[in-house]
Amino acid sequence: MANNKKKNLTPTQQEYQELARKVQPPRPVFGNCLRAFIAGGVICLVGQVVQEMFIHWAGFTEKTAGDPTVAVMILISVILTSLGVYDKIAQWAGAGSAVPVTGFANSMASAAIEHRSEGIVLGVGGQMFKIAGPVIVFGTVAAFIIGIVTWLFQGGGGS
C-alpha cells in the first residue's frame, strides 16, 4: 500500500518524503509500550482495589461488585478529565490510558467539556454522542453476534 501511494507522488514529493523520513527522529517504541503497559496496569490496579473495597467493606460478592466498580472508575475518569489531569496522563501513557471504561469516559467527558458553549443538546449531547455512538453501535452488534454464536454452540440451534 505504501508503494501505491509512492507511485502517485511526483518526483519532488517523493524526494521530500525521503528527506522527511531521514530527518524524523526515531520513535521510542519500547519506551512507549512500557509507559502504556505501566499506565494501563495502574488503572486496572486501581479498579481492582475499588472492587476489593466493595467486596470487603460493602458486603458485595465478587459477581455483584463489578457494576459499582465500573461506576466509580467512570466517575474518577470524568473528575480527572474535568480537572485536566487525565489528559496529562494520556500524553505520558499513550494507549495505556485508553483502558476501555476510563478511556471511553474520558473521551465523552472531553467532548462534552469542549462543546459546552454550544448548548446542552446540540453542543454537549450532540458532540458527546458523535464519539459514543459508534462505540455503542459496534458494541451492541458485536454482543448480538457473540450471543448468537454462543447460543448456536450451546445447542440452541435446534435438534
- Sequence-distant (6+) residues with CB within 8 A of 64 are none
Q: How far is the C-alpha of 88 from the C-alpha of 85, rounded, in Å?
A: 5
**Sequential pLDDT tens for the chain (159 residues):** 455 555 688 888 888 988 888 889 888 999 999 999 999 999 999 999 999 999 999 999 999 999 999 999 999 999 999 999 999 999 999 888 887 788 888 888 887 887 778 787 777 777 777 777 787 788 889 999 999 999 999 876 555
Q: Is residue 75 one of the residues assigned to a domain?
A: yes
Identify the pLDDT of residue 4: 54
Number of Cβ within a 10 Å radius of residue 76: 18
Cell numbers 472531553: residue: 110
**Greatest alpha-carbon span in the chain:** 70
Q: Is residue 158 one of the residues assigned to a domain?
A: no
Q: What is the pTM of this model?
A: 0.69
Domain residues for 113?
45-153
Identify the pLDDT of residue 63: 93
Q: Is residue 7 one of the residues assigned to a domain?
A: no
Q: Is residue 87 one of the residues assigned to a domain?
A: yes
Q: Is residue 6 one of the residues assigned to a domain?
A: no
Number of Cβ within a 10 Å radius of residue 127: 19
Please state the domain count of the chain: 1
Q: Is residue 86 one of the residues assigned to a domain?
A: yes
Number of Cβ within a 10 Å radius of residue 65: 19
Q: Is residue 91 one of the residues assigned to a domain?
A: yes
Q: How far is the C-alpha of 126 from the C-alpha of 121, rounded, in Å?
A: 6
Residue type, 16: Y
Cell numbers 481492582: residue: 48
Q: Is residue 32 one of the residues assigned to a domain?
A: no
In order, the DSSP letters of 12-38 are HHHHHHHHHHHHSPPP-HHHHHHHHHH
Identify the pLDDT of residue 158: 55
